[in-house]
Amino acid sequence: MIEAGLKGELVGSLKGELRIVSLYSKVVNLITKEGLLFSLVANEGLMSGLAVEAEGLFDEAVRKHLREGIPGRITEDSVTLFTPHSGIVISLKDASPWSGKVNTNMVITFKQADELGEKLVKLLGRHGKRGGFLDVIGNELDEKNYFLIKADRILKGILERAGEDKAGVKSAKIGLSKKHLLLRGLEKLVGLGIGFTPSGDDFIAGCLLGETLVNEREASIKIEREGIEKALVRTNDGGRSLLWQVLRGIFPAYIRDFLSQLENACLDHERGLFDNEMLEQAVRDAVLHGETSGTDTLTGFAWFLKVPGKFLLKY
């Protein structure tokens, strides 16, 4: 029996049949009956709310028995993988809880958000990976990248719509005041792009991270979430699982680590002063995640941070 070290806080909601759908050197992904990915991972850096750290599973003597299509089952106390010759049981009884909730005292004001967003745009331009949505925040667009062009058009439409709302064109209908802004239409990015998690899904995750941090007295920027939730059927298993968690305030380990580095880099919370070298290192570490996932997430975060400067900063 393998003893799990960590158990994501949403794992308890999973019960029943599983099936291995993908294997990597340090991750085994299984699909649940709800269409979400449950992951068995080798270390804490790969954790999410729907993951269990099971280091022993990745010993070569054990790992060699795993194949795509192998069935499994999860209960409150264990995960069982029904390999052809014998079952592999992972005990969850003594696993420590792992939380992906944002746990920080950092509050970013509108003015600070605008300044931090500008710094992140520059750092992403220097260290970010292209191929995803990076170029929507200030670089020349690759006309051959269909997904990027479509994303740029969608985001411009969201800002245009927000501008109309702020101008009072539709404020009576949706109940906005001059100091509050509702960003609508991000659901159009769900499933847009390629990869284990499409770029559009990573971008939305970054926006939702920004929403949790940016706050101003008597003012707010909120993301309309209902449309995103309904659109989850349009994306792949990886993207659906990411957004399903993030919509519930649970972020994967690499985003939580970035936030921790961001907080450590902040020299003065009230004035929003950052150590530039530490901030740059936080960006460099985050963009290493996935093919473009880390870059796309920080791109969404930076894009969201720049919104106050467009509409609300003067208040």
Residue pLDDT, tens place only, 118-150: 999 999 999 999 999 999 998 788 888 899 999
Model confidence at 313, in pLDDT bands (50, 70, 90)? low
**pLDDT value of position 273:** 85
CA 254 to chain centre: 9
- Whether residue 309 has pLDDT greater than 60: yes
Distance, in Å, from the CA atom of 248 to the CA atom of 76, rounded to the nearest integer, reads 21
Which residue type does 250 have?
Answer: I
Average pLDDT of span 174-178: 49
Query: Chain-wide mean pLDDT for the chain?
Result: 91
**pLDDT value of position 226:** 96
For residue 1, the SS3 value is coil
Distance, in Å, from the CA atom of 259 to the CA atom of 277, rounded to the nearest integer, reads 15
**pLDDT value of position 296:** 98
Pairing mode, if any, of strands 71-74 and 180-183? unpaired
Structure tokens of 248?
A: 């519930």
Q: Are 52 and 95 a contacting pair, CB within 8 Å?
A: yes
**pLDDT value of position 178:** 54
Q: How far is CA 98 from CA 13, 65, 82, 137, 194, in A?
A: 14, 28, 26, 33, 29
Distance, in Å, from the CA atom of 216 to the CA atom of 159, rounded to the nearest integer, reads 20
Model confidence at 173, in pLDDT bands (50, 70, 90)? very low
In sequence order, the β-bridge partners of residue 78 are: 91
Q: Are 214 and 177 a contacting pair, CB within 8 Å?
A: no
Q: Which fold has domain 2-98?
A: OB fold (Dihydrolipoamide Acetyltransferase, E2P) (2.40.50)
**pLDDT value of position 174:** 45
Distance, in Å, from the CA atom of 21 to the CA atom of 69, rounded to the nearest integer, reads 6
Q: Any residues with CB less than 8 A from the CB of 206 and at least 6 apart, and which?
A: 296, 297, 298, 299, 300, 301, 302, 303, 304
DSSP string, 86-151: SEEEEE-TTPEEE--B------B-HHHHHHHHHHHHHHHHHHPPSSSSGGGGTSPP-TT-HHHHHH
Query: For the chain, what percent of residues have pLDDT higher than 90?
Result: 77
Q: What angle do CA 139, 130, 186 make, to 5 degrees?
A: 75
What is the CB-side half-sphere exposure of residue 262 using CA atoms within 13 A? Answer: 27
Handedness of CA 138, 141, 147, 150 (dihedral sign): positive
Q: Are 271 and 254 a contacting pair, CB within 8 Å?
A: no
**pLDDT value of position 53:** 98
For 43-82, how does the pLDDT look when each residue is reduced to its tens digit (9 = 90+)? 999 999 999 999 999 999 999 999 999 999 999 999 999 9
Average pLDDT of span 267-287: 90
Q: Could you give the residue range(s) of every CATH 2.40.50 domain in the chain?
A: 2-98
**What predicted TM-score, i.e. pTM, was given to this entire model?**
0.93
